[in-house]
Amino acid sequence: MAADHDQVAEDFLNQIRVGHLPFGITTKEVAVFFERYGKIEKLFIKRRISRDSSVFLTHPYVFIVFEKSDSVDQVMTARPFFIDDCELFVRRCLPRTKKYPYEAFITVEKILLHTVSERDDEILPDEKSIFDYLTLTGGKIKYSERLDNKTVLVQFDDYDPVDICCLSRPHFINNQLVEIEKCSDEDQVRLQIEFQKKSQSISTAELSSTQITPEMDCQATYTVSPVPTLSIDDQITQIRLTHSDITNNLERQHEQLVDSLSSEWEQTAKERIRLQRLTLDYKQEQERLAKENRKWQKLFSDSLLEKPQVQNEGETKLQEACRTTTIATEKYNELIKNTR
């Protein structure tokens, strides 16, 4: 949902969003990894699906605010990044506005350039001027097409030049104000332009077919509307097209959200199974160690009980040995005495 007040683009020039992080990564590890590109003012890791949810994200993401916007440019130039076999998804943070409420949540490589004024005589600058202007974003243009005099489609080789265009509004090409926005559905744009062309041709035909003869009353002449109007069928078609556009956008956003949540739930289920297996292994190991501990405790207790008995047996044998030695000594002395 868009905010009540438009966010300012200048507040986001030094911010990035880093996704697909390893599950157990810490804030300190992320800071150490990215502080090589500049001083970090703020860093926040999101680990749960929502604030009140107990379900953890398999791959958390982080928002980083640098001290300078140049650090963001260095980070985007240094892509790709890898941490523990995970390829990080890094992009610039964009503001949310009433005019473009979902722009900050979609990542595309295509943009639409169109005139701000609705006057028929105002057209976009030539392709060379547009190309020269867009090269300032640092991106490479793969494809461009003029859909009509007021709309040009441009595709880059990366998504970052598109975000740069969104952060660099307003745009002036040859001193002409030009609106640039993300293109998430090229087919829908082409269909809408085709409908506009058809509507204009119908209006032109109706206007040219209107004949004003000298015999017509001057007052009746004034009743002819100077503004061409669409027929009922064309108006219905236009309403259906607008409704279809809104419905398709909502369905596409819903599908993207469902796919994202399904993927997160699948990863969460796999992680839960892995943790359950580890828990079972740890429990079995704990039971084994407890059993072995009881065994050694019993042996120790038995040894303490057997010690006095062993000592008594030793003393008895020692006394018997002493008596035997004494008797043998006496017999020896007696034998020596008799031999004399």
d(CA 196, CA 267): 45
- Residue 133, pLDDT score: 94
- Name the pTM for this structure: 0.60
For residue 266, the model assigns a pLDDT of: 76
Beta bridge pairs of residue 150: none
Give the pairing of strands 15-19 and 40-48: unpaired
Q: Name the most confidently modeled range: 45-49, 58-62, 263-267.
A: 58-62
Helix residue ranges, H only, the chain:
27-34, 69-77, 127-134, 160-167, 186-209, 218-221, 232-339
Per-chain mean pLDDT for the chain: 82
Q: How confident is the model at residue 340 (pLDDT cuts 50, 70, 90)?
A: low
Closest-CA residue to 124 (of 116, 112, 115, 134): 115
Check whether the bond before 22 is cis (ω within 30° of 0): no
Best CA proximity match to 31, nearest among 41, 46, 19, 20: 41
Task: Say which residue the tokens 């980083």 belong to.
Answer: 64
pLDDT at 100 over 50: yes
Q: How far apart are CA 23 and CA 57, in angstroms?
A: 8
Q: Which one, of 124, 228, 244, lies nearest residue 188 by Cα?
A: 244
Give the model's pLDDT for residue 91: 96
> Which H or E run contains 42?
strand 40-48
Residue length, the chain? 340
Per-residue exposure over 183-221, b if at least 16 CB sit within 10 Å of its own CB, e if not: bbeeebbeebbeeeeebeebbeeeeeeeeeeeeeeeeee
Tell me the C-alpha distance between 227 and 234, whole Å.
16
pLDDT at 203: 60
Confidence (pLDDT) at 202: 66
Give me 204's structure tokens: 């032109």
What is the mean predicted confidence (pLDDT) over 303-311?
Answer: 68
Write out pLDDT tens, residues 256-300.
Answer: 788 778 777 777 777 778 888 887 887 888 888 888 888 887 887
Six token digits for residue 86: 């995970």
Strand bridging mode 82-83 / 176-182: unpaired
pLDDT at 116: 87
β-pairing, 15-19 vs 110-115, is unpaired
Q: Name the H helices within 213-231.
A: 218-221
| d(C-alpha 160, C-alpha 138), whole Å | 9
Evaluate if residue 239 carries a pLDDT over 80: no
Domains and CATH numbers, the chain: 9-92 (3.30.70.330), 106-184 (3.30.70.330)
Strands 151-156 and 110-115: antiparallel
